[in-house]
Amino acid sequence: MMTVWSAAMVAGTVGCSGKPAAPAAPPPREVQVVTLAPSEVRDTGEYLGSLLSRQSVNVLPQVAGYVRRIHVRPGQKVEEGTPLIEVDAREETAALDSAQAQHNSTEVNLELARRTFARTEALYKEGLASAQELERAQAQVEAAEAASRSTAAQVTQRQVQLQFHVVRAPFSGTVGDVLVRMGDFVGATTPLTSVAQADVLEVSVAVPSERARSLKPDTQLEVLDSQGKVLLTSTLFFVAPQADPRTQLVEVKAAFRNTVGLRPSELVRARLVYSTRNALQLPALAVVRQSGQPFALVVQEKDGKTVVSRRPVKLGALGDMAYVVESGLKEGDVVAVSSLQALRDGAAVKVKPSAPGSRAEVVPTQGVAGGPGAASATGGSR
């Protein structure tokens, strides 16, 4: 029985020619593809920026004395001229009262001198007073007027000095930390608090000098959040005319209206857009690497069959899940983006249909900026 069964098996595996039959070829593997087309690519650099307030001041008193009253609390928004802190002004108030009393006295003396001059002038016209008496009366009027002006100036001076005892906000903004307490003695160099205006901020960025050579005043700058999302966009208004001699970095600045609640002195991610251009972009999923050399599997027709051809490529910076193609591919090439590890050069494939709008059908449109490899703090991408 064993002999008959073995013979039957041999007979089943031998053809008419007496040679073993060739195994059936595997069916073509289905793959997803993208068609390459030029899209906008941005040459960018990401750096650490510092936010500066266009209006920020440390508030100091202009007089010495004890803190008598604190009108504000830290973080409070104030308008221009709002009282912040009041310094004891009892001595200055007494000096003002004294100056006012002296002024009132000189006003009385002036009025008396004017009446005396009027009577003397009338007597002089009737010949009952001498010219010398008239001149003396006129001199008394002029002296009284000078004394009145002097005391009036002293009153004004005391009034101005008294105003210094109430420290007011120089402009509208937000109050910082209040550094003094009730009863503290302060002088002209004692910091009281700070007021910062955060509606319009500046972002200051230091960039390498070789990258700064291509910057222009209208270069775009983007402020990013921790996830790389663009919060605010503005353009440069300042590029330093010289580099820092110690760091060889060039300071650049942009101003923007603060609509997202950023704060002065905050450190943020900032991205400079050096230039824009059109280039092909290859999805990161479509890249196969062998010994460090990147390849792309291009789908093409050959001998009536659809096959993949492994093609070496030169890649640029990595953007949003896509590399910039420097060379090796051309517009219109169809590249496989799935099952790459199971494909070999020349393997037959079948293009897998995708739903309209799926990522496998469309060409990436994001630029170099925004990806994890867009740029470093020491230079932009290329």
Closest CA to 79 of 164, 151, 171, 6: 171
**pLDDT value of residue 21:** 55
pLDDT in tens, 191-240: 999 998 888 899 999 999 999 988 888 899 999 998 889 999 999 999 99
Q: What angle in degrees, to the nearest 10, is found between the helix axes of 90-125 and 131-163? A: 160
Q: Does domain 90-163 have CATH number 3.40.50?
A: no
The answer to whether 137 and 57 are in contact (CB under 8 A) is no
User: Which residue shows structure tokens 């993949």?
Assistant: 308
Cα distance between residue 347 and residue 370, in whole Å: 35
Q: What is the CATH number of domain 29-40+279-351?
A: 2.40.420.20
Torsional sign, CA 155, 156, 159, 160: negative
State residue 358's pLDDT score. Answer: 42
- The more confident residue out of 14 and 95 is 95
Beta bridge partners of 305: 302
Task: Give CATH for domain 45-54+196-276.
Answer: 2.40.30.170
CA distances 298 to 136, 354, 355, Å, are 116, 18, 21
- The token pair at 240 is 């330093």
Q: Distance between CA atoms of 111 and 120, rounded to whole angstroms? A: 14
Boundaries of every domain in the chain: 29-40+279-351, 45-54+196-276, 63-87+165-191, 90-163
CA distance 64 to 240: 41
How many angstroms separate the CA atoms of 144 and 111, rounded? 8
Q: Tens digit of pLDDT for each residue in 352-382?
A: 875 444 443 333 333 333 333 333 333 333 3
Span 81-126, pLDDT tens digits: 999 999 999 988 999 999 999 999 999 999 999 999 999 999 989 8
Spatial separation of the C-alpha atoms in residues 237 and 228, rounded to whole Å: 23
Q: In this model, does residue 29 exceed pLDDT 70?
A: yes
Q: What is the CATH number of domain 63-87+165-191?
A: 2.40.50.100
| Residue 183's pLDDT band (cuts 50, 70, 90) | very high
